[in-house]
Amino acid sequence: MRKKLISAVAAMSAFGLVLTGCAGGDEGNKGEGGDVTLQMVESLTNPARTDLLKGMLADFEKANPGIKVQLVSPPTEQADQKIQQMLQSGSGVDVLEVRDLTVGPFSNNKWLYDMAGDLKGWEGYDLLTDQTKKFTVDADGKAYFVPYGFYGLSLFYRTDLVKEAGFAGPPKSWDELISQAAKIQDPTKNRYGYAFRGGANSSGQLMSILEAYNADNLDVENAYKVTSGKTIFSTPESQVALDKYIELFKTGSPESSVAWGYAEMVQAFTNGSTAFLLQDPEVIAVVNDSTLTKDQWNVAPNPVGPTGKAAWPMATAGWGVAESSKHKEEAVKLVKWLSGDPSTKFAQDNSLVPILKSAGEDEFFKTGPWAGYVEMTSNPDTWISVIEPRSSAWWTEWMKRSETDLQQVLLGKMSTADLLKGWDEYWTQKWEG
């Protein structure tokens, strides 16, 4: 999913600011008899998701006579381009899907309505998890979208292989993960410990261990910084963490994983050749469809660092209202409705960490592979919610550089100290402009 988010934003940037005609518009929003018709645009479209949304909107219309909702579902690859065009034109959209990667440029261009005032006193607000509240109202007190769910890393593990190796349960810390992966690894049986990510977008897994080792001093609003204001790459803790991470590759991962991306990692876990995989919850559905049986795997919380804590950077998206909407009251009503009980069904069907506290009591989420996510959201002092600077203009450039440098280290062509020094200089210079 992260890959899809980044690709879509890159496509949006490349498309530029060309405007084309948009469906709907203010003139089309008034129906017969004074009814209001809202235009709602989704971004991460697929047929099953669109059908689910249409069903939810039908329920909303039934509960709110006088308000109709027309759902616009552009193809995912062009969806953000379409949304940008509609927002720029100032018509054709009332409610829209806003992502953590698009909220910055959309709000900076004053295309999004600030719902902060509307959410004050909303009884549904107190029902949201702390994680959701944090992303709903930003540091400046603005509320440009209400998340509908979250993506975040957790540890997929093979219950049978862990037991066969003599361990009582899955690793709770990075140290335990390295130990278990090394013991399980047996190349003669095509069995490996950890599905290492050395290829495209490898920084996510690497940052997970760096942030865990710096958890006590992490800047939660920018997890690439520590509280002193320096980069996370400048600390002694990061040097220890990176050396541990390389040890995990050398003693508990396949050599070929130096080039693995998302697909190879997931395939290695689902085909039974690796015991551990650090991935987003969308993979739950993939594993469910694999040859692994339910008693062969599960999901544990993100491994913690030496102080018993871990950072949990989240990717998210949600529903927002266009500043240009002539029906903000009705649009906000729809956003609130979607953020209530229907959000739990939406999270279930789309493999998302849910936004409501009550979802933790839902049998679907409190058992099996979802239980690890509920444990993390229920213990924010251990799994600290942080924000990574993924909306930076140079993020795509950073992803390419981090992939190249990590591979140089894995191949023995660069030291871990030189990698961290280079990354410290890179981010310091970028932030200094």
Q: What is the pTM of this model?
A: 0.76
Average pLDDT along the chain: 89
pLDDT band at 7 (very low <50, low <70, confident <90, very high): very low
Tokens 């977008």 correspond to what residue?
201
Delimit the domains of the chain by residue range.
36-152+315-355, 154-313+386-432
The residues facing 192 across adjacent strands are 274
The beta strands (E) that lie in 232-387 are given as: 274-279, 297-300, 310-313, 315-321, 383-386
Considering the four listed CATH numbers 3.40.50.720, 3.40.50.970, 3.40.190.10, 3.40.50.360, the one that applies to the domain covering 36-152+315-355 is 3.40.190.10
The stretch 420-432 carries a mean pLDDT of 97
Query: By 3-state DSSP, what share of the chain in percent is helix, strand and coil, each rounded to 5?
Result: 50, 15, 35
Rounded percentage of the chain residues whose pLDDT exceeds 70: 92
More confident residue, 398 or 391: 398
Does 431 have pLDDT greater than 60?
yes
Note the pLDDT of residue 10.
40
Does 160 have pLDDT greater than 50?
yes
Does 33 have pLDDT greater than 80?
no
Q: Which residues, 6+ apart, have CB-to-CB distance to 110 below 8 Å?
A: 323
Note the pLDDT of residue 8.
39
Residue type, 363: E
> pLDDT (tens digit, 9 = 90+) per residue, 276-310?
999 988 788 889 889 999 999 999 999 999 999 99
> CA-CA distance, 12 to 23, in Å (whole number)?
19
Instruction: Name the helix (H) or strand (E) containing 16.
Output: none
> pLDDT (tens digit, 9 = 90+) per residue, 201-245?
899 899 999 999 999 999 998 999 999 999 999 999 999 999 999
The stretch 251-272 carries a mean pLDDT of 94
Does 312 have pLDDT greater than 50?
yes
CA dihedral 412, 250, 2, 424 (to 10 degrees): -50
Pairing of strands 36-41, 95-99: parallel
Q: Which two tokens stand for residue 283?
A: 């993979």
The stretch 75-103 carries a mean pLDDT of 88
The stretch 348-357 carries a mean pLDDT of 90
Note the pLDDT of residue 12.
40
Domains 36-152+315-355 and 154-313+386-432 share a fold: yes
- Answer left, alpha or beta for residue 172, where phi above 0 means left and psi between -120 and 50 means alpha: alpha
More confident residue, 149 or 45: 149
Neighbouring CB atoms inside 10 A of 95's CB total: 29
Does 375 have pLDDT greater than 50?
yes
CATH T-level topology, domain 154-313+386-432: D-Maltodextrin-Binding Protein; domain 2 (3.40.190)
> pLDDT (tens digit, 9 = 90+) per residue, 95-142?
999 988 788 889 989 999 999 999 999 999 999 998 899 889 988 899
pLDDT band at 4 (very low <50, low <70, confident <90, very high): very low
> pLDDT (tens digit, 9 = 90+) per residue, 404-420?
999 999 999 999 999 99
Note the pLDDT of residue 306.
98
